[in-house]
A and B are shown apart, each in its own frame.
Chain A
Amino acid sequence: MAVLKVPAVVKLQENVIDEIYNFSPDKAPLVSMIPTQSVHNVFFEWQRDIYRAANRDNAALEGAAASAAAPDQPGLLNNRTQIFQDTFGLSGTSEAVKKYGRKSERARELMKIAVELKKDQDAAMLSSGVTVTDNGTNAGKLRGLYGFFTNDVFGAGGASPDPTTNTNATSGTDVALTETMIKNAQQSCYENGGDGSVLMCSPAHKIKIDSFTFGVSRTHEVSTKIGDVQPGTFDFIRGAFGVIKIVPNRNQSIASVGLNDTLYMFDADKLAKAVLRPYQVKKLAEVGDSEEHQVLTEVSLIVKDERTCYAIRDITVSGS
């Protein structure tokens, strides 16, 4: 018996889920978690001061003369703003036709670009090693955590950055991530006035950290279901110096120095996103039946005192 089958049916209606799903829950964790602060220039500076170490032998003779010493001055840190931008053009027809999942193509593009620019900022604020001055040929660039954190551990041949002289860190030989590195990072943050409450890392390094967890639990029976690790989740660990959040960052999956080879420990309140120009949408041109738009923002990063933070550098991609 001849029957009509689906492949032979003319003009079947498409079955498209009428939503645009975006399963990227943490698009830009660093930018999302730090406060915002306004700046008024493309180059800006701030001061940070430090107490001298406690001196238990601070004792004076009774009746002794005293001579005044010149006090130390606060140290200066600086950064530059970076313009993050993207453009899109649309024909009048593309806006008018009925679409699945969105009414306006323009609105969809604006939202998508806003998120993408946020991801770009996140990657730059993590991994940029030095500031770049806009000279008409090279665009201005900000310095990220990679170029700010002077308390760190690195592989053989590596070196710490110096943000006061705009000197980038030197990459060393990649090594495996160890539990001791994380413990030392926490201790360093605490001794220098921080809490080390956030450890930001790549999803692969999050899995490696999870293996440390299992490593100390030999007496417990671990089911296969638990062994199914959750790299997208945030871990809250009560450590010796307070609660530390292990935050996986998808942007640190990118194969680049300062992203997939580095873990950053900091307190989010000791960083800030410096905003010179908030997000703005500019209509570049209206040519006949089409429109061109530019979305841009000009921002930078403030690390109030880099000594309260820590970088674990030169880690292999898998952490092993």
Chain B
Amino acid sequence: MTSKVSFHEATDTHLVASTDYSMTEIVRAMDHAKERHNSGNHLALGDDKLVARVHPGVMHAWCAKRGVTFSQLMTDQALTKQFLEDPDNSNFRIWKGKI
């Protein structure tokens, strides 16, 4: 069975476009993050910390749940921090220290 997650996004005032995400891809990304965390390989770009590796479908779902736009999540650093520290998204965290 093919599962999917659908979101409807207002592109502007008149038209609405839908976005479908493959559940298989989301689970695959989650497994990847979990495996990466368990391996202890938490570094990226030298000595920086790879905080999370997230499928965009999860970001859209979180925005819908919180009543914020994707643009707000990407522009507001405080909101980004909330997103990363949300226990619901912990499966996508790789380095789990304080941000």
Contact = CB atoms under 8 A, between A and B. Distances in A.
A105 to B, nearest CB: 16
B70 to A, nearest CB: 5
A243 B77 contact: yes
Interface in B24-77: 25, 28-29, 31-32, 35-36, 39-41, 43-57, 59, 70-71, 74-77
A136 interface: no
Nearest to B18: A111
Nearest to B9: A32
A220 B42 CA distance: 10
A211 to B, nearest CB: 11
Nearest to B20: A22
A291 B33 CA distance: 50
A235 B53 contact: yes
B71 A34 contact: yes
A221 B48 CA distance: 19
> Secondary structure of the A side of the interface?
mixed
Contact of A279 (B11, B50, B74): B11
Contacts of B74: 33, 198, 245, 268
Interface stretch (A53-61, A64-72, A74-82, A222-230): A222-230
Contacts of B17: 111, 114-115, 118
Given A225-B32, A238-B51, A238-B95, A297 B12 contact: yes
Contact of A235 (B18, B25, B41, B44): B44
A257 to B, nearest CB: 26
A126 B99 CA distance: 30
A114 B12 CA distance: 10
Interface residues of A, number: 61
Contact of A216 (B36, B47, B52): B47
Interface in A242-262: 242-243, 245
A37 to B, nearest CB: 12
B90 to A, nearest CB: 13
A125 interface: no
Nearest to B59: A234
Contact of A233 (B11, B19, B22, B53): B53
Contact of A222 (B2, B39, B53): B39
B13 to A, nearest CB: 5
Interface string A25-37: 1110000111110
Best-buried of B51, B80, B84 by chain A (most CB within 10 Å): B51
Contact of B44 (A33, A34, A213): A213
A152 interface: no
A112 B17 CA distance: 8
The 10 closest A-B pairs by CB, nearest first: A33-B74, A269-B75, A220-B41, A278-B12, A213-B44, A238-B49, A236-B51, A114-B15, A268-B75, A217-B41
Given A22-B18, A235-B50, 5 more contacts: A21-B20, A234-B55, A238-B49, A239-B45, A267-B75
Interface of B: 2, 4, 9, 11-22, 25, 28-29, 31-32, 35-36, 39-41, 43-57, 59, 70-71, 74-77, 80-81, 84, 95, 99
19 contacts: A23-B21, A25-B25, A33-B70, A114-B11, A115-B17, A183-B46, A213-B41, A216-B43, A221-B39, A223-B39, A230-B28, A234-B54, A234-B55, A235-B44, A236-B80, A238-B48, A243-B77, A243-B81, A269-B75
